[in-house]
Amino acid sequence: MHGNEHSREIKIGILGATGTVGQRFIALLAKHSYFVIHALGASQRSAGKRYAQAVQWKQTVPIPSHVRDMVVKECKPEHFAECSVVFSGLDADVAGEIEDAFRRAELAVFSNAKNYRRDPAVPLIVPLVNSSHFAMIPQQRAQHDPPLQKGFILTNANCSTTGVVVPLAALEKAFGPIESCMITTMQAISGAGYPGVPSLDIVDNVVPYISGEEEKMEWETLKILGGLTEGDDGLKVFDMHAKSPLRISASCNRVPVVEGHTECVSIRFAKRPPPSPQQVREALTAYTSDAYALGCPSAPRHTIFVHEEADRPQPRLDRDYQMGAGVSVGRVRQCRVLDIKFVVLANNVAIGAATSSILNAELAVVKGIIS
Amino acid sequence: MHGNEHSREIKIGILGATGTVGQRFIALLAKHSYFVIHALGASQRSAGKRYAQAVQWKQTVPIPSHVRDMVVKECKPEHFAECSVVFSGLDADVAGEIEDAFRRAELAVFSNAKNYRRDPAVPLIVPLVNSSHFAMIPQQRAQHDPPLQKGFILTNANCSTTGVVVPLAALEKAFGPIESCMITTMQAISGAGYPGVPSLDIVDNVVPYISGEEEKMEWETLKILGGLTEGDDGLKVFDMHAKSPLRISASCNRVPVVEGHTECVSIRFAKRPPPSPQQVREALTAYTSDAYALGCPSAPRHTIFVHEEADRPQPRLDRDYQMGAGVSVGRVRQCRVLDIKFVVLANNVAIGAATSSILNAELAVVKGIIS
Amino acid sequence: MHGNEHSREIKIGILGATGTVGQRFIALLAKHSYFVIHALGASQRSAGKRYAQAVQWKQTVPIPSHVRDMVVKECKPEHFAECSVVFSGLDADVAGEIEDAFRRAELAVFSNAKNYRRDPAVPLIVPLVNSSHFAMIPQQRAQHDPPLQKGFILTNANCSTTGVVVPLAALEKAFGPIESCMITTMQAISGAGYPGVPSLDIVDNVVPYISGEEEKMEWETLKILGGLTEGDDGLKVFDMHAKSPLRISASCNRVPVVEGHTECVSIRFAKRPPPSPQQVREALTAYTSDAYALGCPSAPRHTIFVHEEADRPQPRLDRDYQMGAGVSVGRVRQCRVLDIKFVVLANNVAIGAATSSILNAELAVVKGIIS
Amino acid sequence: MHGNEHSREIKIGILGATGTVGQRFIALLAKHSYFVIHALGASQRSAGKRYAQAVQWKQTVPIPSHVRDMVVKECKPEHFAECSVVFSGLDADVAGEIEDAFRRAELAVFSNAKNYRRDPAVPLIVPLVNSSHFAMIPQQRAQHDPPLQKGFILTNANCSTTGVVVPLAALEKAFGPIESCMITTMQAISGAGYPGVPSLDIVDNVVPYISGEEEKMEWETLKILGGLTEGDDGLKVFDMHAKSPLRISASCNRVPVVEGHTECVSIRFAKRPPPSPQQVREALTAYTSDAYALGCPSAPRHTIFVHEEADRPQPRLDRDYQMGAGVSVGRVRQCRVLDIKFVVLANNVAIGAATSSILNAELAVVKGIIS
């Protein structure tokens, strides 16, 4: 993280503030250099209570002292009128309507929910990868009548997608299109929220299935790694990597790990001959995100940290490196079926969720989309 | 398990009787219909002690009462002269010499160690798959001077290999050669023996590396699924699946599970178009092992049990089905990169180790190789 | 388990058949020598479905084949009219009314729920301890108008209480009243049912609190170990160990263990000097339950198994001994504050729940209470 | 932690630098305000290698950059001549001789090993409790011939003792002597070092025994909570709490938790009537350590943090509070057998090990024992 500090404070609100992602937003933003927690939204049941009473706090740091006594509001735009940024950790069953209402009320919504990820006017941005997709926002605003001036929705990706697209983006940048990609995940229980996975299902066990997860990974990766092209009608569209078709096959598993998704990835490049493992390692290490280059304070110095030890990355040891804002890669080696295989570790609750939203908002600030 | 009972008792010995695999042999053989535990071998340190004193028993059943007071011997052939079968659970660092000495002393050795798996005269038999490889034994005996009459060494496969070759064999039988196979394993801690994996390495963690494991899987699978062909010199050789090259890429991980290796497998068939998921399910269910067909008492009725539920097999729930002697498969579906993918579960300490040795010995009995 | 077989079949019903305890009843009763599963009851949502469709089966054995297609009924007495025994695995929020309705319909109800444990007319029976409390049943029946002929409710104890009362009963039998008892439990997640404990609360964690559990242990122990005395009005009452007051202090913790409650117990006897650790060991080993003496087929041969090894009992290794029907004790030694301390292990889903109900029903059969 | 900064740097050495405790020393001291890592000692096997090559680093932060390339020395005093303080994370089998050699070479040794804890001239100091025991050091020095000028050995307590003596000291300070204390521990695997506890012993398990641990807790507590009195011969002796005998009974268990020992404690005061739970809570909260009062930079602001929630402290959530330098207490309530019971959580690798040594050295600095 580096210190290109913003000169003034920006007030932010958090939707779903008592949930797992909401708690993480609070823990992370409590020390942010310019975002200031100004309003907390949750369900009707929590509204009106002080935050410390409303929440079942499950973070490993205490509730920030200035947040303890903030009064929780219902998730209605009027309570967030003074906020320039709204972070949403809402569950998918309510996120759709609420986030849209906030957008219509001219609020900039950074969402973790899945509801708008497939919306053709909503960017799906992994801040270490595709900040160029911010270019869709004017068109999203223009679709409203009258056109929105400040409101928009921007989503980040599913936690397991985020881990894998970062090295894939680095490798496409260095070696051109990837043609095929096989991914097997070993995902942490925190990815399912709270109460989430029942302990009887996961202690001394592996569950080789996570509902909807494989489809998300296979689809979101194409949107993120794809370009933003302009149609004959002058409208921008996400091209889903169409210029060079990319086949992705994901197998998703839940394992008894608290935090940190581990993914075994194997890829085939379009380019023949493909790069060597050493070239891949160097390209991964050299990759720098726009978020870091542009001075976002939450961006990790090492977008991708490449381990040399044979048995790394490991979630327990590596998930907190750089506060979980980067991605770890290890075991880069040849694959006998495709070209190259490696292991990725990404902190699902940091870069896989709240940290990505925060970075996206920081990008919006440096790009002048939020003022 | 069915009841084609053998009419008389066969005395057996166990090498490495105090180790993890040795303990499992004892627990399994205590109730065998015709194998009778007659001699126990261990290191010099244990020799001379009663078994209950020598062992740090870690099984979930008590030490069988008639074994408690058996006196442990050193692993020398003279102490096992009355045995018709010797099961070896020895560690690789001592297995090489001791097993060879037993073979030379005209004992039939069924080994779990890796030492002789790559020996061109030693069959590597997964009893649910390639019992035809018993045909190599006469040649192995003949290589000695004077030729051995009864002695031989036969190995079973690495625990992670065993899980995957069973469905692969079933599918090759039904649909012809497999061309490519990607495997990602999530292996139980018991696969590393005792003390094995330090708890600090695996509680709340995944270790994405098991030394030598990927190489074993990639090599052993070819030997097991390959044929036994005759060269110009009249000598039999294991052809390593040479007639139709098979590329295998394995990624091996350790997860916090006590017992049961889970493996995500994706395959491409030579045959175009490939079979559908439903055809694959049917072929897996229909597959029957020679071991069962020939009436081996430890053979599972369902060689492969195919789960219909979306989230199975799971190690905690499915590892003990049929006493761990079969293999479970689930989530058979299309793969966007290769043809078909599925999940395999095999009990690494049962069919992945001791149960396979016992089944191999039962096969040797029914085939008349042991008398 | 021994073989005093009953000559004829007795039809039984299971209430809450799709829940955790209900599933365990089914798994255990599938092979019972004379109880035959005849009717399954569950909530309205499940009623009318075949059992295999209605249940999320989480046992390590498959659904018994003859149960798979049984049609689940609502929990109304008319659907269980042919049953002589009804086992209830209902949750406390519905057990009160339903069990009472079944009793009024002249059904013998063996309940795992807590609702009637404190009822002064309902016996709270740990079958390895206080079968004499069956004597309360005539009085319970007589309280109804008209008096019941066959109907009654009988409960078993909380899973953590069960583990500790067995050795306490053995020691009181041998050495007279216990005066003080300190208990610290380390309880398995299965004690909380399904979905029960969220995995985020227990992986890599201890939760030093289980709602209501300490009170249950402190109260139930007195009812179970106390006598059944007759008041001046000729009515029987549970005396709550009143003749010799017994102070109990429990501290209950949840630990990441799937099955098997471990409890550290320290006691002070009224008798001075107190027995030695060796005398305690001998008394525990010598103790035999009525359930075994009377030939109940599910009674364990060793009511209490006393371990000599320094580090036993352990839940993973010892919970399945005797199918979890007995209790394990180890580390019997002097206590510097009270007299004697030791470790108890009891399988919370076997003797701590379903097995106790079944044993209670077997006792009712041998005592002629059920015909 | 507060900021009474020392004006100059003090060079320190670490013995056993590649071990578990040694690694923790390095991670903690890398950012210390005045202690500077100057020399690293390890076994002959590691000596001569760069630290990053010699160590199997298992911390969740990377090796501090300036330590990576330091050359590891053998544990001989001549290599540490420039150090004013030596921290020892040596194993007990070598600590005795090496630490004595360092003392004789006029080095101040702060040891985590058990070897000198029972030595009548060596203080056993939990820095949040008994800094008064530093007064023994002149006598320890004087016992040598010629008397030592700067050398001495000072030990900290066993990790499980540390957790419990802090609240006991607070309560004795407020309410006078404690008469009896029952402790049941649930200890983390990291307490056993690396490789330490085999995973097969602890995944899905509890081990109700830790060799020597109960004796250590029962003995060390008396030395720490006792006074330093002067005999007729003018020599100081540790009185082992003799003026008011204190009976302690400990039951030690290993549980599947990575870090943080949880302990259930029940006590009886000499004072009648005893304090109420609320008075106990207040006394615990009010307690401040000398280490904090004297401005030691590593001392926690809250020596004891008292939780109000029913289900805290929990190791996963609370072990890192104040970087693990304080102690958490919760569930303060009446005990039916003794007077008061509560739950303690202490981070076994922080305040239970390395942090205590560092605090002891900071105390030595502020007290002028080290210059």
Domains and their CATH numbers in chain C: 10-157+354-366 (3.40.50.720), 159-347 (3.30.360.10)
Above 60 in pLDDT, residue C2?
no
User: What length does chain C have?
Assistant: 371
* DSSP annotation string for C122-182: S-B--TTT-GGGGGGHHHHHHTSSSPPSS-EEEE---HHHHHHHHHHHHHHHHH--EEEEE
Distance CA B65, CA B69 (A): 8
Q: Quick one: pLDDT at residue B7?
A: 60
Q: Quick one: pLDDT at residue A6?
A: 53
Residues from chain C contacting residue B316 (CB–CB below 8 Å): 60, 258
* DSSP annotation string for D296-356: -TT--S-SEEEP-STT---HHHHTTGGGGTSEEEEEEEE-SSSSEEEEEEE-TTIIIIIHH
Q: Quick one: pLDDT at residue D6?
A: 53
**Percentages (nearest 5) of helix, strand, coil residues in chain B:** 35, 25, 45
Going from the C-alpha of D148 to that of each of B362, D138, D357, the distances in angstroms are: 74, 9, 21
Measured between CB atoms, which of D209, D258, D341 is closest to C311?
D209
Q: Which residue of D lies nearest to A321 if distances are taken between CA atoms?
A: D61
Residues from chain D contacting residue B197 (CB–CB below 8 Å): 198-200
Q: Which residue of B lies nearest to D57 if distances are taken between CA atoms?
A: B201
**Percentages (nearest 5) of helix, strand, coil residues in chain D:** 35, 25, 45
Distance CA B317, CA A201 (A): 9
Q: Answer whether D199 sits within 8 Å of B198, measured CB to CB.
A: yes
Residues from chain B contacting residue C316 (CB–CB below 8 Å): 60, 258
Residues from chain A contacting residue B314 (CB–CB below 8 Å): 201, 205-208
- Classify burial at D240, counting beta carbons within 10 Å of its beta carbon; exposed 0-12, middle 13-18, buried 19 or more: middle
Residues from chain D contacting residue B195 (CB–CB below 8 Å): 195, 198, 200-201
Q: State yes or no: is A335 an active-site residue.
A: no
Q: Virtual CA dihedral for C81, C83, C85, C87, nearest 10 degrees?
A: -80
Residues in chain B predicted with pLDDT less than 50, given as ranges, are: 1-4
Six-digit token string for C284: 């525990």
Cβ pairs A/B, distance under 8 A: 131
Residues in chain D predicted with pLDDT less than 70, given as ranges, are: 1-7
Residue pair D294/C295 in contact (Cβ under 8 Å)? The answer is: no
What's the mean pLDDT in A77-92? 97
Q: Which residues contact A226 (CB under 8 A, 6 or more apart)?
A: A238, A239, A240, A241, A242
**Chains near A (3 or more Cβ pairs under 8 Å):** B, C, D
DSSP B274: P
Residue pair A129/A143 in contact (Cβ under 8 Å)? The answer is: no
Q: How far is B193 from chain A (nearest CA, A)?
A: 17
**What are D's interface residues with B at a Cβ cutoff of 8 A?**
58, 189-190, 194-204, 256-258
Q: Virtual CA dihedral for C255, C257, C261, C263, nearest 10 degrees?
A: -50
Distance CA B239, CA D124 (A): 69
Q: Quick one: pLDDT at residue B231?
A: 87
Residue pair C319/C345 in contact (Cβ under 8 Å)? The answer is: yes
Q: How far is C13 from chain A (nearest CA, A)?
A: 26
Measured between CB atoms, which of D196, D200, D204 is closest to B200?
D196
- From the list B32, B38, B261, B307, the catalytic residue is B261
Q: Answer whether A316 sits within 8 Å of D258, measured CB to CB.
A: yes
Six-digit token string for B312: 């199975």
Q: Quick one: pLDDT at residue A7?
A: 60
Closest alpha carbon to D319 in D266, D259, D236, D268: D259
Of the pLDDT bands very low, low, confident and very high (cuts 50, 70, 90), residue A371 is confident
DSSP C249: E
Q: Quick one: pLDDT at residue C150?
A: 97
| Best mutation target, A57, A190, A200, to test chain C (most C CBs within 10 A) | A200
Q: Which residue of C lies nearest to D187 if distances are taken between CA atoms?
A: C206
Of the pLDDT bands very low, low, confident and very high (cuts 50, 70, 90), residue C231 is confident
Q: Answer whether C194 sits within 8 Å of A198, measured CB to CB.
A: yes
Q: Answer whether D62 sits within 8 Å of A321, measured CB to CB.
A: yes
Strand partners, D42: D74
Above 90 in pLDDT, residue A356?
yes
- From the list A83, A261, A296, A307, the catalytic residue is A261
Helix or strand holding residue A200 (H, E)? helix A199-202
Distance CA A114, CA A338 (A): 31
pLDDT in tens, C236-252: 999 999 999 999 999 99
Q: Quick one: pLDDT at residue B371?
A: 78
Q: Answer whether A310 sits within 8 Å of B255, measured CB to CB.
A: no
ipTM score above 0.90 = yes
Cis previous bond, D62, omega within 30: no
Distance CA C129, CA C125 (A): 7
Angle at D171 between CA D301 and CA D112, to 5 degrees: 60
- From the list B83, B159, B181, B296, the catalytic residue is B159
**Chains near B (3 or more Cβ pairs under 8 Å):** A, C, D
What's the mean pLDDT in A78-95? 97
**What are C's interface residues with B at a Cβ cutoff of 8 A?**
58-62, 203-204, 258, 316-321
Strand partners, C180: C247, C268
Cβ pairs B/D, distance under 8 A: 58
Residues from chain C contacting residue B61 (CB–CB below 8 Å): 320-321
Distance CA C264, CA C185 (A): 6
Q: Quick one: pLDDT at residue C7?
A: 60
Q: How far is D158 from chain B (nearest CA, A)?
A: 19
SS3 at position B225: helix
**What are A's interface residues with D at a Cβ cutoff of 8 A?**
58-62, 203-204, 258, 316-321
Q: How far is B215 from chain A (nearest CA, A)?
A: 11
Measured between CB atoms, which of C60, C203, C320 is closest to B317?
C60
Q: How far is B258 from chain C (nearest CA, A)?
A: 10
**Chains near D (3 or more Cβ pairs under 8 Å):** A, B, C
- CA A279 from chain centre, in angstroms, equals 27
Going from the C-alpha of A251 to that of each of A209, A217, B259, B331, D43, the distances in angstroms are: 8, 9, 21, 10, 45
Q: How far is D316 from chain C (nearest CA, A)?
A: 5
Give the number of other Cβ atoms within 10 Å of residue C3's Cβ: 7
pLDDT in tens, C335-368: 999 999 999 999 999 999 999 999 999 999 999 9
Q: Tell how strand A178-187 and strand A261-269 pair up.
A: antiparallel
| Best mutation target, C197, C206, C255, to test chain D (most D CBs within 10 A) | C206
Q: How far is C143 from chain A (nearest CA, A)?
A: 42
Residue pair A24/A88 in contact (Cβ under 8 Å)? The answer is: no
| Best mutation target, A56, A60, A190, A206, to test chain D (most D CBs within 10 A) | A60
Give the number of other Cβ atoms within 10 Å of residue B288's Cβ: 15
Q: State yes or no: is C159 an active-site residue.
A: yes
- From the list A32, A38, A83, A159, the catalytic residue is A159
Q: Answer whether A189 sits within 8 Å of C195, measured CB to CB.
A: no
Beta strand segments in A43-120, E: 73-74, 85-88, 108-111
Residues from chain A contacting residue B248 (CB–CB below 8 Å): 336-337
**Chains near C (3 or more Cβ pairs under 8 Å):** A, B, D
What's the mean pLDDT in C128-143? 98
SS3 at position D43: coil
pLDDT in tens, C146-203: 999 999 999 999 999 999 999 999 999 999 999 999 999 999 999 999 999 999 999 9
Mean pLDDT taken over chain A? 96
Mean pLDDT taken over chain C? 96
- Name residue, tokens 């320290």: C266
- From the list C75, C83, C159, C181, the catalytic residue is C159
Q: Quick one: pLDDT at residue C6?
A: 53
Q: Which residue of D lies nearest to C257 if distances are taken between CA atoms?
A: D204
**What are A's interface residues with B at a Cβ cutoff of 8 A?**
180-182, 184, 186, 201, 203-209, 211, 218, 247-249, 251, 253, 255-258, 262, 264, 266, 310-317, 330-331, 335-338, 341, 343
Q: Quick one: pLDDT at residue B8?
A: 82
SS3 at position B236: strand
Distance CA C203, CA C205 (A): 5
pLDDT in tens, A233-254: 999 999 999 999 999 999 999 9
Q: Answer whether A251 sits within 8 Å of B184, measured CB to CB.
A: yes
